[in-house]
Structure 1
């Protein structure tokens, strides 16, 4: 394809820098404590793994369920108040974990943490959209992705260091991170007042649900999020089978490290030559094919090579998906559209955990080790074709705005 005309350079404002920094802090604070919950309550206190798994599952369901409505509320009151409230509620949730001695206390703390996440998740995307010019949104979402991955790498390292001091200290440190995030955003993020239209609030969710084009886009993306969870399920199981429990460190380090180093420059390279919708379809196709190739890997090194290809695909999906969501949302309903889009992650993530483990078990019991990988590759191919179909009515210029026509 031909190179695209140059646009004005992207110069991050204080709001942009604040959102990038806060994303790093939030992801770092989250991954500082969440891995330690299982270590502390199961390994240290002897709780049943199923009970702790239930607690973590309830947190995720609470957050994903509330995210749908958090975006709609942002269209009514603006994203900033909800983000600040979400940070403070999550602070209470993680601080509550520090003093939890019973299952009921831990469950209540986890629900609070989930409520906080549900309040700031979609509004944060709406805030990014509001303070960023359309032609720079893909780059901004890419920088947000880089910051998140950097936090995902840093958080567990700090958590591991604090674990030696005690779980309570680690949990309180994680809670403090969200206080710092709220303070930083209070200083840097303007209060963007939503447009006074009839499309905001719960009406905005109804608008998103009735938008045939966006509804197809959201539902088809469930297939991608089913695949994206396999780094925690099928891929992890294969890595352990090839190299033992210690393989998880290099596996996650490679995935997150590549995203930190390559996501932004890769997006800059792609956006000069490829339309947004084409880039999204190609990225999902890459994820599916890389999972298929993992079935052929017989050494840990070969698996890591496949994981690198997998990571190249996943690091392009987030900014392109977010950019298209912002472009498809009508004025006054941006938060609602981001909230509705959370259905993809919620449903796809839940299905991915179940389907991935089921396929691995089925492959072992049937003596067909390629079964899970060929099945996942098929899901990728079908999802890529589905996205091409779902976006076929999107005019080229509209679909590519933010990454070019």
Structure 2
């Protein structure tokens, strides 16, 4: 009797190559336009409305301008939670287009106001626009990108946003030489252009069956224990990420004067533009997504801790470079993991619910960073803020390791 023929197991098929579709290209291009338009005008609000009248400003108090910017932030972050849920009912495209149009109107309106109540109304309208498109944009990226390529797609989207952060202020500053109204209208027109790009390239992604009532998705996301833990633990990271605008900026000014802010932000955004995509490709090759996120958050905390040792501006910039390597890894991995948690019919709701971590962490971080710097100065312990932030980073990394157990393979979290 002859021996049985050996069984040949066919090799696993290679994953499909990553090629950008028209919809993906449109999302990347529109993200560049949105971030560029935002940073072309928002930094100028402070310059124009609170600047000295001798130099063309309106001479308002810093508190008034802070109220305007804070109201826009609160409006946008609060509405983002619901914008994601609505996208599960309507599809993301209508909400993204409506958000772009409202932001166009809000920014254009800013250029024609010279009173605080009207500026508050314009800022609120701009915030409503952002709240409508934030979570639906992430949902659209998820829906048009296969699961195996989402980390790269979120990385490219983040890269385009960072490129907008670099170019937007330069264009805005140049236009301010003409007038603030010119800068505001230019920024508004950029959002209108983004809407046109998405209207042409993004298909109407119809909601999956089973989406239920408009807020059911938020309830489902909140009841997902593992996702709820993930979202709450991420508050710690966003406390840290806010410090580039608070504690880190204050230290940079203390070391090198007000002119230090340009090199500080330029280094952070420039590194993201140059390194984010190749860095994510390398991370994908050697680390699971969960481990990459935990390591990136730990790196952010470590870099903030090392800032306690920086006694010169170049040393601080070296720490900022390390900080940026961590933050540029967190965004795409965090977005990818959120998409893994979400059932197909609840993607928008999950991205909307995840905005809670940014809203709470950003608000707490803004207050905490300044308070820690003041407390350290009063106590004669300048290392206090940096050691505290490093401890927050350590506990956040450990919390993510705990919250994401079992998340190393795609699709393992949808039933959590």
Output the TM-score relative to the length of structure 1.
0.96
Partner of 1:398: 410
Displacement of 1:330: 1.1
After superposition, the CA RMSD in angstroms is: 1.3
Superposition pairs for residues 31-42 of structure 1, below 5 Å?
Answer: 31-42=39-50
| Aligned 8 A contact 2:68 2:123 in 1 | yes
Matched, 1:137 2:174: no
Partner of 1:18: 26
Partner of 1:192: 205
Deviation track 1:313-337 (CA, whole Å, cap 9, x = no partner) reads: 0000000000000000012000000
Matched, 1:9 2:17: yes
Matched, 1:30 2:38: yes
- Matches of 2:213 and 2:32, distance apart in 1: 29
Displacement of 1:399: 7.0
Matched, 1:300 2:321: no
- In structure 1, runs of 5+ residues without a counterpart are none
Partner of 2:346: 333
Displacement of 1:396: 2.6
Displacement of 1:9: 1.5
- Matches of 1:5 and 1:272, distance apart in 2: 18
- Matches of 2:333 and 2:14, distance apart in 1: 19
Matched, 1:234 2:247: yes
SS in 2 for 1:251: helix
- Matches of 1:352 and 1:98, distance apart in 2: 30
Indicate which of 239, 247, 256 corresponds to 2:260: 247
Hey, which bits of structure 1, 4+ residues long, moved more than 4 A?
none
- Matches of 1:87 and 1:202, distance apart in 2: 23
Superposition pairs for residues 156-171 of structure 1, below 5 Å?
Answer: 156-171=169-184
In the alignment of these two chains, the number of paired residues is 397
Deviation track 1:24-49 (CA, whole Å, cap 9, x = no partner) reads: 00000000000000100000101111
Partner of 1:202: 215
Q: CA 1:280 to 1:200, structure 2 compared with 1: closer, same or farther past 3 Å? A: farther
| Aligned 8 A contact 2:372 2:385 in 1 | yes
Output the TM-score relative to the length of structure 2.
0.94
| Aligned 8 A contact 1:59 1:110 in 2 | yes
| Aligned 8 A contact 1:95 1:175 in 2 | yes
Partner of 1:173: 186
- Matches of 1:352 and 1:256, distance apart in 2: 20
SS in 2 for 1:47: coil
- In structure 2, runs of 5+ residues without a counterpart are 1-11, 52-56
Partner of 1:98: 111
Indicate which of 150, 156, 162 corresponds to 2:163: 150
Matched, 1:183 2:196: yes
